């Protein structure tokens, strides 16, 4: 998801380009996001390029209750501004940069020296932050028995019902 935006940067303010994302994969340390699709809208601003878009992904996670595979679907909306590192975009450019940018000052959302905008990191961060903390294989997942470890979705458990803490036993008498 790398887009060359040289023509857009040297164009008029408000100039736009729309790109579609189809069946991409984004790699992440805890797992990959597959089937990434959506669209991005790139708009020329007075400082750089404004990226707005929507993306969807599907993936697999471990169910928080029974540890089986849980399918996940994530939808995100993006809005990030990318600033060009390249200050030489022509004599009339409003982006002409007078200062030198040091290597340690370059964040992830800069347009590189070749005028390439990489939207992959913004999309990856969006997916990571939108990933549910506790995925479920299904809404009514019964989970694993804490006594014998049986998956209660597939096998009945013969364990004795939970022992109630005597300090909380009085709460059983309260009914709403």
Q: Where are the domains of the chain?
A: 2-141
Reported as type and span, the H/E element at residue 130 is: helix 120-130
Look at residue 107 in the predicted model and tell me its pLDDT: 55
Q: What pLDDT, on the 0 to 100 scale, is given for residue 160?
A: 72
**DSSP bridge partners of 44:** 49
**In the prediction, which pLDDT does 36 show?**
93
Q: What is the DSSP letter of 153?
A: T
pLDDT of residue 153: 92
Q: What is the mean pLDDT of the chain?
A: 83
Contact (Cβ atoms closer than 8 angstroms) between residue 81 and residue 49: yes
Burial bucket for residue 131 (CB in 10 Å: 0-12, 13-18, 19+): middle
In this structure, are residues 45 and 123 in contact, taking their beta carbons and an 8 Å threshold?
no
The predicted structure's pLDDT at residue 85:
78
Write down the pLDDT at residue 99: 52
pLDDT of residue 171: 85
pLDDT score, position 96: 46
Please give the Cα distance from 33 to 70 (Å, whole number): 14
Q: What is the pTM of this model?
A: 0.70
Regions of the chain with pLDDT less than 50:
90-92, 94, 96-98, 101
Nearest to 137 by CA among 69, 88, 75: 69
């Amino acid at each position: 998801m790398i887009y060359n935006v040289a023509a857009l940067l040297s164009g008029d303010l408000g100039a736009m380009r729309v790109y579609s994302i189809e069946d991409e994969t984004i790699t992440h340390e805890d797992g990959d996001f597959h089937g990434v699709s959506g669209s991005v809208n790139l708009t020329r601003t007075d400082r750089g390029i404004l990226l707005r878009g929507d993306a969807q992904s599907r993936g697999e996670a471990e169910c928080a209750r029974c540890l089986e595979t849980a399918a996940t679907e994530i939808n995100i909306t993006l809005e990030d501004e990318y600033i060009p590192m390249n200050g030489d975009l022509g004599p009339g450019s409003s982006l002409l940069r007078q200062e030198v940018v040091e290597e340690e000052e370059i964040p992830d959302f800069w347009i590189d020296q070749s005028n390439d905008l990489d939207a992959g990191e913004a999309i990856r961060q969006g997916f990571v932050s939108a990933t549910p903390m506790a995925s479920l294989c299904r809404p009514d997942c019964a989970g694993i028995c804490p006594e014998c470890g049986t998956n209660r979705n597939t096998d009945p458990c013969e364990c004795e019902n939970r022992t109630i803490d005597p300090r909380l036993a009085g709460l059983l008498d309260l009914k709403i």
